[in-house]
């Protein structure tokens, strides 16, 4: 994956087309100039050009590449977008943005913000649910004969109707065992634990779709413990925050790419 070097200089453009560093959009730049101002190495600039992140540079009579300040801004837009959505999607997005209408480009960038917001909301819901579950698991479980319960016993222990447990089973929230020729439901330790968590989440106001998502997340955390799951979710929220800030920082550069008239001007 191509990454920016630590020392990157911000290059913006004024209304008259002058870069904040004093360069105009049509001024010729060497590869080393673009690398220094965009915060990439010379090889990274060449690689990103080869990958189509920026348009092909003009070539002088002696074969040397000739860039403009707009190429610098396109590279900066890629760096911020790659940090937010990943390098593969960023390469695809930038290629689309250069040929899209302003309305299409605005919708695509808005969609990236929406996706990050949705990821954050999902992580926050899972985090809140874990805390509710932690309170539930700290409460002693219902007494039972052996390690299984019937649907009637479990319904009574959870203070719900047997039909509620059947509904949870239909929705994939709780999975009892089926025993005897009559296929009677028997709830083992795992199913009892699932039912207690589902009951706690439903009592906390979570809808069935949200409970299903949370249970799926808990199954992915299986064996790691609730404390480790909480740590993982905190790390995920931190990463989402960093990605969101990167996308915000890339906003002006992305807008410049979108409004530059398809592609950056080619120096001649």
Question: Does residue 231 sit within a domain?
Answer: yes
Helix, strand, coil % in the chain, rounded to nearest 5: 60, 5, 30
Per the prediction, the chain carries an average pLDDT of 79
pLDDT digit string, tens, across residues 170-186: 998 998 887 665 667 88
Please write down the HEC assignment for all residues of 108-132: HHHHHHHHHHHHHHHHHHHHHHHHH
pTM of the model: 0.60
Range of the domain at 222: 120-240
Per-residue pLDDT for 19 more than 80?
no
How far apart CA 80 and CA 73 sit, in angstroms, is 11
Nearest to 156 by CA among 143, 171, 175: 143
Higher pLDDT, 188 or 14: 188
Question: Does residue 260 sit within a domain?
Answer: no
Question: Does residue 108 sit within a domain?
Answer: no
Question: Does residue 187 sit within a domain?
Answer: yes
How far apart CA 77 and CA 255 sit, in angstroms, is 9
The confidence score (pLDDT) of residue 143 equals: 47
Per-residue pLDDT for 244 more than 90?
yes
The confidence score (pLDDT) of residue 181 equals: 59
Question: Does residue 147 sit within a domain?
Answer: yes
Q: How confident is the model at residue 62 (pLDDT cuts 50, 70, 90)?
A: confident
How far apart CA 87 and CA 254 sit, in angstroms, is 15
The confidence score (pLDDT) of residue 79 equals: 92
Highest mean pLDDT among 35-39, 122-126, 147-151: 35-39
Domain total of the chain: 1
How far apart CA 87 and CA 47 sit, in angstroms, is 13
Question: Does residue 29 sit within a domain?
Answer: no
How far apart CA 16 and CA 11 sit, in angstroms, is 14
Question: Does residue 78 sit within a domain?
Answer: no
Question: Does residue 267 sit within a domain?
Answer: no
Q: The tokens of 134 are what?
A: 């932690």
Q: Residue 128 is part of a domain; what is its CATH number?
A: 1.10.1660.10
How far apart CA 243 and CA 169 sit, in angstroms, is 38
């Amino acid at each position: 994956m191509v990454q920016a070097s630590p020392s990157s200089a911000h290059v913006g453009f004024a209304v008259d087309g002058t870069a904040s560093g004093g360069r105009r959009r049509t001024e010729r730049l060497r590869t080393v100039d673009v690398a220094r101002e965009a915060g990439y190495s010379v090889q990274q600039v060449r690689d990103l050009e080869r990958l189509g992140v920026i348009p092909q540079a003009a070539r002088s009579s002696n074969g040397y590449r000739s860039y403009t300040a707009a190429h610098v801004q396109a590279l900066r837009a890629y760096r911020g977008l790659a940090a937010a959505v990943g390098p593969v999607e960023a390469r695809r997005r930038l290629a689309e943005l250069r040929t899209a209408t302003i309305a299409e480009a605005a919708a695509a960038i808005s969609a990236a913000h929406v996706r990050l917001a949705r990821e954050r909301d999902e992580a926050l819901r899972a985090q809140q649910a874990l805390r509710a579950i932690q309170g539930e698991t700290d409460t002693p479980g219902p007494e039972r004969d052996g390690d299984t319960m019937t649907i009637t016993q479990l319904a009574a222990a959870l203070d719900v109707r047997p039909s509620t447990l059947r509904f949870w089973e239909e929705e994939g929230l709780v999975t009892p065992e089926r025993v005897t020729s009559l296929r009677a439901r028997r709830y083992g330790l795992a199913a009892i634990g699932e039912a207690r968590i589902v009951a706690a989440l439903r009592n906390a106001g979570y809808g069935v779709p949200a409970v299903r998502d949370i249970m799926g997340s808990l199954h992915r955390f299986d064996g790691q413990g609730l404390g480790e799951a909480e740590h993982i979710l905190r790390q995920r929220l931190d990463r989402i925050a960093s990605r969101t800030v990167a996308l915000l920082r890339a906003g002006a550069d992305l807008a410049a790419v979108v409004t530059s008239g398809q592609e950056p001007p080619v120096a001649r």
